[in-house]
Amino acid sequence: MIEYDPSYIFPQMVSSIMKLVVLGSGTSVPHARRAAAGFWLQTNTGSLLLDASADIAHRSAQERLDWPNLDSIWISHFHLDHLGGLAPFLFGVRWAPQTQRRRKELRIFGPHGLRRILETFDAAGEYKLLDQPFPLQLFEVEPNQQFEILPDIFARTFSTPHTPESMAIRISERDGNSIVYTSDTGLSEELIDFCGAASVLLLECSFHRGKPVKTHLELSEAMEIARVSAPERLVLTHLYPEWDEVDIVAEAKKLWPGETIEAFDGLHLEF
Ligand SMILES: [Zn+2]
Ligand SMILES: [Zn+2]
């Protein structure tokens, strides 16, 4: 029996599958079940690490991900629950047996100042973190910049109200899937526009209610972003320990009827 392959008939209409793996759904507060921020995005053209907390190197291995061949890294801002694992990862891959034959380039993208931080760390211990067995390129990008983050996968950045350098990122296939990762952020109208109609919106939801700072989101704000931007699927992450006692999905449902997923370490999501 002949089966029709729709991708053969309508090649331009069928988008490929992306896979998101949550390495760390937590925050800077040490937690037994939630590592600090890190997400692995696998596309048909390569792999991308979104943020690099201190936990990501070993969490990647735990999830059986192909860390020796990671293609690109995105750093959203310089808080150490998002950046603190970059130097240890580079130290790890510099010496790991699995990377000694690697010749493929690793590309790191992040805000202005990332190079200075890495070079300062490097100089303090003479680690030679930027001198790898394989080529490494570091790109400092601006808000509202567009660039190719993986082959045929495009990224756009957006300045968020969290720290002076913090940025959200929108990652899209040509005519296909898109994922928005806000990282840490306060609420802004412009951010809601930026999040519009993503396949997956990976959104911080630090607090339940009565947030102690303006520069993070609480549930009602996260769900306002979801309601207006209407993602196909919403993944709530960056969960402080106060969420341990609360059914976040049930609370979210009261505010938005769409599909809300609670991030947890080890979540694998295909879209
Ligand atoms: Zn954070
Ligand atoms: Zn932060």
pLDDT tens digits, the chain, 271 residues: what are they?
445 444 444 444 456 799 999 999 999 999 999 999 999 999 999 999 999 999 999 999 999 999 999 999 999 999 999 999 999 999 999 999 999 999 999 999 999 999 999 999 999 999 999 999 999 999 999 999 999 999 999 999 999 999 999 999 999 998 889 999 999 999 999 999 999 999 999 999 999 999 999 999 999 999 999 999 999 999 999 999 999 999 999 999 999 999 999 999 999 999 9
Give distance in angstroms: CA of 77 to centre of ligand 2: 7
Q: Are the C-beta atoms of 56 and 87 separated by less than 8 Å?
A: no
Q: Are the C-beta atoms of 43 and 257 separated by less than 8 Å?
A: no
- Report the alpha-carbon distance of residue 264 to residue 157 in Å, rounded: 25
DSSP three-state, residue 257: coil
* Helix residue ranges per DSSP H, 163-202: 189-194
CA of 165, nearest ligand number: 2
Q: For ligand 1, a single-atom ion, which residues have Cβ within 5 Å? A: 81, 184
Give distance in angstroms: CA of 81 to centre of ligand 2: 7
CA of 53, nearest ligand number: 1
Give distance in angstroms: CA of 23 to centre of ligand 1: 14
Residue 57 host element (H or E): helix 56-62
Give distance in angstroms: CA of 175 to centre of ligand 2: 31
Give distance in angstroms: CA of 173 to centre of ligand 1: 27
Give distance in angstroms: CA of 84 to centre of ligand 2: 12
Q: What is the pLDDT at residue 13?
A: 46
Give distance in angstroms: CA of 105 to centre of ligand 1: 28
Q: C-alpha angle with apex 150: 148 to 154, nearest 5 degrees?
A: 40
Query: Can you name the residues that pair with 106 across neighbouring β-strands?
Result: 136
Q: C-alpha angle with apex 64: 176 to 20, nearest 5 degrees?
A: 25
How would you classify the pairing of strands 268-270 and 19-24? antiparallel
* Helix residue ranges per DSSP H, 80-181: 80-83, 86-95, 114-125
Q: Are the C-beta atoms of 161 and 186 separated by less than 8 Å?
A: yes
